[in-house]
Amino acid sequence: MSVTTVEPPAQKPTVRPQRKNCRPKPSGWWMPYALIAPAVLFVLAIQILPMVIGIFMSFIKLTKAFIANWGSAPAAGVANYSVSLDFNSAVGKSLLASFFVTCGFTVLVVGLSWILGMAAAVVLQRQFRGRGFIRTLFLIPYALPMYAGIIAWKFMFQKDTGAINHFLFDNLGLGGEKPFWLIGDSSFAAMVVVALWRTWPFAFLMLMAGLQSIPSEVYEASAVDGAKPWRQWRSITLPMLKPVNVVLILVMFLWTFNDFNTPFVLFGNSQPPGGDLIAFHIYNASFLTWNFGLGSAMSVLLLLFLLLVTGIYLIVTNWRSRRA
């Protein structure tokens, strides 16, 4: 049986050289596969393996009693998932709260970053003196080492010694008590500001690059027809930037939703409820309590959610573009 299954493909290569004389060595057909094999294996090892291990971990009871020897960890079934998703218990309730905080955070940061980035890119599209300087200035937050930037913000947000309260209350003379920025409810606002500061230059950079590819004739022609800047932006810039926007918003969404560094550096290990982003929440749930099974279950849930959102997003944007 196996001979017959091997036979047909074996004949094809022998036929082909007769048709195409430019390939005299059919014997090396496996060479390309062998050459790309290491790359494929590396991709599997780097991308898929951790994911598979993570999914595996979410089904075992990997607490500190078993962490030194994974093999001995007992199976947990879906216990880790049911604990995470039991919204009446402390664990599930806090996970849900963290999820909502993260959603709000993502919408605000991605939305505002896009608006700021678009505005700056459009304004800086015109040629004027000092344009290069301003472009560089806007890109600085993106170029700064992330930790250094966020630590600087952390200092600025201190209650008594921070630059922000000093500016608002001492320089501008705002009345009332100086607020805490990094604890309590204001921490959400502080975190959004820092993330926005860090994210918008990326939107700016991408949109600026996208704008370069729109031919200036289109604008000139529309100006001749009497189109004002707003109309030009709406009818030319926006549609022609669509491919850029689709990718940009998706990438910013994924980055922001998974943001770990901003809350971690701003708040350290004791995150306020308003600064409890989900990636950070999962880290705390697994590293502070040594319960890696539970943390993995939460990660898998996060992965599923992001896959779902990304899938829907891509289907909707593709469908729209096909209709258009």
Partner 1 sequence: MTIRTLTAAAAIAALALTTAACGSPSSSPSQASEGGKTLTYWASNTGTSLDNDKEVLAPQLKKFEEKTGIKVNLEVIGWNDLQTRIQTAVTSGQAPDVVNIGNTWASSLQSTNAFLPLDEDTMKAVGGSDKFVKAALETAGAPGQVPASVPLYGMVYGLYYNKAIFAKAGIQPPKTYEEMVSAAKKLTKDGQFGLSLRAGSYSTNAHFAFLNSAQNGAELFDAEGKPTFTSDGVVKGVKRYLDLMQSEKVVKPSDVQVDSGQGVHEFTAGKVPMVIGATIDSIIQADGMKADEYGVVPYPAPAGAKDIASFPAGINLSVFKNTKNKDGALKFVEFMTSAETQKALNDKFGTLPVLKGAAPTFLADTEKAKVLLDIYANRSKPLPLVAAEDQFESTVGKAMTQLFSKVASGNTVSDEEIRGALETAQQQVAASAG
Q: Which residues bind partner 1 (CB under 8 A)?
A: 6, 10, 27, 29-30, 33-34, 37-38, 41-42, 45, 63-65, 67-69, 83, 89-91, 94, 158-160, 177, 179-180, 182-185, 268-270, 272-273, 287-292, 294
Query: Least distance from C-beta 257 to partner 1, angstroms?
Result: 23
Closer residue to partner 1 in complex, CB, 245/291? 291
Query: Least distance from C-beta 21 to partner 1, angstroms?
Result: 22
Q: Which residue shows structure tokens 């596969």?
A: 33
Query: Least distance from C-beta 315 to partner 1, angstroms?
Result: 36
d(CA 309, CA 303): 10
Closer residue to partner 1 in complex, CB, 134/151? 151
Residue 132 DSSP SS3: helix
Closer residue to partner 1 in complex, CB, 17/268? 268
Query: Least distance from C-beta 220 to partner 1, angstroms?
Result: 56
Closer residue to partner 1 in complex, CB, 81/233? 81
Judge whether 124 and 211 are in contact, CB under 8 Å.
no
Nearest alpha carbon to residue 299 among 314, 287, 312: 287
Six token digits for residue 68: 């030194």
Query: Least distance from C-beta 192 to partner 1, angstroms?
Result: 18
Closer residue to partner 1 in complex, CB, 195/294? 294
d(CA 204, CA 246): 14
Query: What distances in angstroms separate CA 310 from CA 232, 302, 313, one per listed residue?
Result: 30, 12, 5
State the DSSP string of 296-323: HHHHHHHHHHHHHHHHHHHHHHHHHHHH
Six token digits for residue 188: 């959400």
Most distant CA pair in the chain: distance in Å? 90
Query: Least distance from C-beta 196 to partner 1, angstroms?
Result: 23
> HSE (CB half, 13 Å, CA atoms) of 138?
24
Nearest alpha carbon to residue 95 among 105, 81, 80, 85: 85
Query: Least distance from C-beta 289 to partner 1, angstroms?
Result: 4
Closer residue to partner 1 in complex, CB, 41/146? 41
Closer residue to partner 1 in complex, CB, 177/225? 177
Closer residue to partner 1 in complex, CB, 41/312? 41
> HSE (CB half, 13 Å, CA atoms) of 119?
7
Six token digits for residue 163: 């630059």
Query: Least distance from C-beta 175 to partner 1, angstroms?
Result: 15
